[in-house]
Amino acid sequence: MRATAATPRRVVRRIEVCGTVQGVGYRPFVYRLGRELGLDGWVRNDGGLVVVEATGPADAMRRLSARLHTDAPPQARVDQVRIGVPAGDSPAPGSGFHVARSAEPPRRSARDRPGLVPPDLATCDACLAELFDPHDRRHRYPFVNCTDCGPRATIVDGLPYDRARTTMRRFAMCRACAAEYGTPTDRRFHAEPIACPACGPTLTWQPSGGQDGHDAGKHREEALRAAVALVRDGGIVAVKGIGGYQLVCDATDEAAVARLRARKHRPAKPFAVMVADLAAAARLAPVAPAEAALLASVPRPVVLLTAHPDHPLAAAVAPGTDLLGLFLPAAPLHHLLLHDLARPLVVTSGNIADEPIAIDDADAADRLAGVADGFLSHDREIRVRYDDSVARVVAGRPSVLRRARGYAPDPLDLPVAATEPLLAVGAQLKHTFTLARGAVAIVGPHTGDLQQQDTMTSFTEHLAHLSRITGIEPAVVVHDLHPGYLSTQYATTIPAPRRIGVQHHHAHVASCAAEHGITGRYLGVAYDGLGLGDDGTLWGGEVLLADLRSYRRLARFGRAPLPGGAAAVRRPARMALGYLFGGEPFDETSLARAELLAAPLLRRLPPSEVATVRRMVAAGVNCPTASSAGRLFDAVAALLGVRDDAGYEGEAAVALEACAAGHAGAAPLPWRLATRDDLVVYDPAPTLLTLLEALHDGTGAGLLAAAFHATIAAMTVAVCSDAAAEHGTSTVCLSGGVMQNRLLVEALVAGLSAAGLTALVNERVPANDGGISYGQAAVAAAQLRGG
Ligand SMILES: [Zn+2]
Ligand SMILES: [Zn+2]
């Protein structure tokens, strides 16, 4: 049937748009589209969806459905556009096109795709221009935002995304804001957190211990001035940021940074530094184009860069590493601070040691009283805690190391859709969880190390919040095999019809495979700290033949005792003794020779410690063994005299990587592969012996550190090449905490590519344990599908 030009056929349609379509300017976009195409009808939020009911010429309706996909706003993610006919009254021809009130209550059914909230969006250029325009009514207003930018995930209570369901509900819009909000051509049309100095949140200043708010400033410029003056004088200011309180001080002031370390009980871990713009970043570190793009990307992560050797920052900012974590302002308040102070600032989580960051004003005032000299706060409530994210460019691609503000809870795809809604509870350190329904996985933000009650509480609060927003009620709970992880223990306490345990390193490599949509077989290289294997021993240097459902272990690192168990993680020197006194499969002769060559280390350590460790290893008391790549990196750092202690897991390996800088092209040291119980075993004895001999003969630690990296890469490429030939697969997924080492990963990617293999690395979820929950979800979904 063909309609003539004179009487175009009219059709009526109900269109449901699924994905990240709320809080990203999607309704205003549909509104403008509907008007442009001359349609009659409306658009509204309904549950987690955007729903359109419209009538118009068939041709215009076709263009509407196509452009809902192709012309969507930049921050939207359209997963699906479902087209049907309205169940009730259809819009009347000639009634025009408008934005309707959100459906109350939401009509979302359980079958629907999960409701999605966008992550927080960094201040856009248009808002930034207003912020610094003296003639604009929002000049220097720290809460300026629009449909393209501003807080989202951190202020949302529930869906549909309307002001009434955000922490902005207590601020009644002034007449001017209401006009912008209601004007379809305005860039603040339906910008839910819209605010201005007349009606929106206000900055406040409270000096620490200031009696009766003595010099507390109520006016926002007074508050800012007080904070700026304090930072300029070397003070530490607690600033209420987007996803929590942050501690801020002058990054060029050695005494201020040292004071912050002491008060925060954070002796070693590098601090992130915020700079005003890319030019300021380039003054501290060379910034490659891919790194500049990552710094300026909407999530505004902390980006790890290799510092200029003579950068002007205080040495205490990042001791023992040439890496600097730099980031650009994500919120107007940070833009103002950077502008007024005109210097790089340490901006770090508002907490002490490993506690969750403070988000509540009273809690912050209480917990940070001994840390901050003053509080720059405001009255816009933070609904949920989001720490700053960390990322890095590896092998030319951005790679997330800590996924929180700006990234979470943006959904990821599962390559095999889950047949039942599931919750993956993750691991223990750098904890995240993942909720999944169908092919959509929502990875919650980084909550820190799950070691104490308050991090557990933070995890369960986030879980309840995201579960409510997405409407995902898990029928399957997925956990690590380690019974000691608090996440595993939690998994056993929540009622669920089905539980699935996933081996730690299988979850690691599956996280990488799933990100890249790999559903077939692949080789998984999991180089990690420690994780429980399926044989009851600790693993961490594994090559697996895997698919999403299952795996077979093909190769592993030689085992070494961990003298004192977990204590060895914080004491690389002790780990080195473990290899020297009881590394497998060292033979007697090489052990004796290695011990002789390691005399500098043995002389450096307290004799009582050496004797104790020797006894422990000989008797096998409190010495679990592990086939861990991470622990071998620790041991080498100690043997080379780079680091005997680690303030945090991986510190020694970070120092070892830094030490190797400037020795590109170092030749690999010898290595040996043995076969034990049908497994290929990397025997590090020849590597360590040669390394110690060269050190003894005066070769520099830097060259040897580089040679060690080259050895691990060359050995891994050899193992993978053989396995690829034998098992007929050419895809290699690299994951695990050790894969945060850029030097190693880039050598692996180059070596594997040269060998004709395809090397894949984590990009959107961390290679470290922060990616475990997503890997668990991918494995469980595939297992559910397999029955
Ligand atoms: Zn904006
Ligand atoms: Zn206003």
Residue 107's pLDDT band (cuts 50, 70, 90): low
* Distance from C-alpha of 385 to C-alpha of 461, rounded to nearest angstrom: 10
- The answer to which of 11-15, 354-358, 624-628, 688-692 has the lowest mean pLDDT is 354-358
Instruction: Work out whether strand 625-628 and strand 323-327 pair parallel, antiparallel, or are unpaired.
Output: unpaired
Highest-pLDDT range among 40-49, 182-191, 776-785: 776-785
Summarize pLDDT for 248-304 with one digit per residue, the tens.
999 999 999 999 999 999 988 999 999 999 999 999 999 999 999 999 999 999 999
What sign does the CA torsion over 744, 747, 751, 756 have? positive
Cα of 123 vs centre of ligand 1, distance in Å, is 5
- From residue 479, give the alpha-carbon distance in Å to each of 57, 534, 553: 53, 14, 20
Q: Which ligand is nearest to the CA of 179?
A: 2
223 close to 217: Cβ distance less than 8 angstroms: yes
- The answer to which of 34-48, 73-87, 585-599 has the lowest mean pLDDT is 585-599
SS3 546: strand
Q: Which ligand is nearest to the CA of 188?
A: 1
Q: Write the CB contacts of 438 (distance below 8 Å, at least 6 apart in sequence).
A: 113, 414, 417, 418
Q: Write the CB contacts of 32 (distance below 8 Å, at least 6 apart in sequence).
A: 184, 185
What residues have their beta carbon closer than 5 A to ion ligand 2? Answer: 174, 177, 196, 198-199
Q: Which ligand is nearest to the CA of 198?
A: 2
Decide if pLDDT at 215 tops 80: no
- From residue 663, give the alpha-carbon distance in Å to each of 319, 666, 667, 701, 715: 21, 6, 10, 11, 19
* Distance from C-alpha of 629 to C-alpha of 748, rounded to nearest angstrom: 14
Q: Helical H runs in 273-360?
A: 278-284, 289-296, 332-341
* Distance from C-alpha of 634 to C-alpha of 655, rounded to nearest angstrom: 10
Cα of 125 vs centre of ligand 1, distance in Å, is 7
Beta bridge partners of 11: 56
Residue 112: predicted pLDDT: 60
Cα of 568 vs centre of ligand 2, distance in Å, is 57
Distance of CA 92 to the CA centre of its chain: 48
Cα of 179 vs centre of ligand 2, distance in Å, is 9
3-state SS string for 590-651:
HHHHHHHHCHHHHHHCCHHHHHHHHHHHHHCCCCCEEEEHHHHHHHHHHHCCCCCCCCCCCH
Q: Calculate mean pLDDT across residues 685-711.
A: 96
* Distance from C-alpha of 167 to C-alpha of 360, rounded to nearest angstrom: 13
Cα of 176 vs centre of ligand 2, distance in Å, is 6
**Residue 395 burial by Cβ neighbours in a 10 Å radius (0-12, 13-18, 19+):** middle
Pair of tokens at residue 80:
């699906």
SS3 226: helix
156 close to 117: Cβ distance less than 8 angstroms: yes
- From residue 48, give the alpha-carbon distance in Å to each of 45, 156, 160, 186, 469: 7, 12, 6, 24, 8
* Distance from C-alpha of 699 to C-alpha of 414, rounded to nearest angstrom: 49
Residue 105: predicted pLDDT: 64
SS3 108: coil
What are residue 624's phi and psi, to 5 degrees? -60, 150
Residue 738's pLDDT band (cuts 50, 70, 90): very high
Pair of tokens at residue 387:
């720490």
* Distance from C-alpha of 641 to C-alpha of 365, rounded to nearest angstrom: 42
Residue 475's pLDDT band (cuts 50, 70, 90): very high
* Distance from C-alpha of 535 to C-alpha of 72, rounded to nearest angstrom: 50
Cα of 200 vs centre of ligand 2, distance in Å, is 6
Residue identified by tokens 């190797």 is 660
- The percent of residues above 90 in pLDDT, for the chain, comes to 82
DSSP designation for 38 = T
* Distance from C-alpha of 205 to C-alpha of 223, rounded to nearest angstrom: 5
Cα of 92 vs centre of ligand 2, distance in Å, is 35
Q: Calculate mean pLDDT across residues 6-11.
A: 78
Decide if pLDDT at 120 tops 90: yes
What sign does the CA torsion over 249, 255, 259, 265 have? positive
Pair of tokens at residue 115:
């409701």
The length of the chain in residues reads 787
Side chain identity, residue 628: S
Cα of 120 vs centre of ligand 1, distance in Å, is 12
* Distance from C-alpha of 144 to C-alpha of 134, rounded to nearest angstrom: 14
What sign does the CA torsion over 370, 372, 375, 381 have? negative
Summarize pLDDT for 428-443 with one digit per residue, the tens.
999 999 999 999 999 9
Give the side-chain half-sphere CA count within 13 A for 48: 28
196 close to 141: Cβ distance less than 8 angstroms: yes
Cα of 141 vs centre of ligand 1, distance in Å, is 13
Decide if pLDDT at 12 tops 90: yes
Summarize pLDDT for 502-518 with one digit per residue, the tens.
999 999 999 999 999 99
Average pLDDT over the chain reads 93
DSSP designation for 299 = T
321 close to 655: Cβ distance less than 8 angstroms: yes
Summarize pLDDT for 528-538 with one digit per residue, the tens.
999 999 999 99
Q: Write the CB contacts of 63 (distance below 8 Å, at least 6 apart in sequence).
A: 37
- What interhelical angle do 504-515 and 772-786 show, nearest 10? 90
Measured over all CA atoms, what is the biggest interatomic distance in the chain, rounded to whole angstroms? 99
Instruction: Indicate left, alpha or beta for 761 from its phi (over 0: left) and psi (-120 to 50: alpha).
Output: beta
Cα of 192 vs centre of ligand 1, distance in Å, is 12
SS3 content of the chain, % helix, strand, coil (to 5): 35, 25, 40
Residue 584: predicted pLDDT: 82
- From residue 320, give the alpha-carbon distance in Å to each of 205, 315, 644, 657, 701: 35, 9, 12, 11, 15
Pair of tokens at residue 681:
């075993």
Neighbours of 620 (CB within 10 A): 11
SS3 53: strand
Spatial strand order of the sheet with 434-443 comes to: 434-443, 412-424, 476-480, 498-502
Beta bridge partners of 657: none
SS3 145: coil
Count of H-run helices and E-run strands, the chain: 23, 28
Q: Which ligand is nearest to the CA of 137?
A: 2
Q: Which ligand is nearest to the CA of 173?
A: 2
Decide if pLDDT at 612 tops 50: yes
Decide if pLDDT at 551 tops 90: yes
Q: Which ligand is nearest to the CA of 191?
A: 1
Q: Helical H runs in 89-246?
A: 125-131, 175-182, 220-232
Side chain identity, residue 511: S
Q: Calculate mean pLDDT across residues 25-40.
A: 93
Q: Calculate mean pLDDT across residues 363-392.
A: 95
* Distance from C-alpha of 426 to C-alpha of 502, rounded to nearest angstrom: 10
Instruction: Indicate left, alpha or beta for 778 from its phi (over 0: left) and psi (-120 to 50: alpha).
Output: alpha
Cα of 144 vs centre of ligand 1, distance in Å, is 7
- The percent of residues above 70 in pLDDT, for the chain, comes to 96
Residue identified by tokens 């309706």 is 61
Cα of 198 vs centre of ligand 2, distance in Å, is 5
554 close to 546: Cβ distance less than 8 angstroms: no
Residue 586: predicted pLDDT: 62
* Distance from C-alpha of 641 to C-alpha of 576, rounded to nearest angstrom: 11
Q: Helical H runs in 233-313?
A: 254-264, 278-284, 289-296
Cα of 199 vs centre of ligand 2, distance in Å, is 4
Q: Which ligand is nearest to the CA of 200?
A: 2
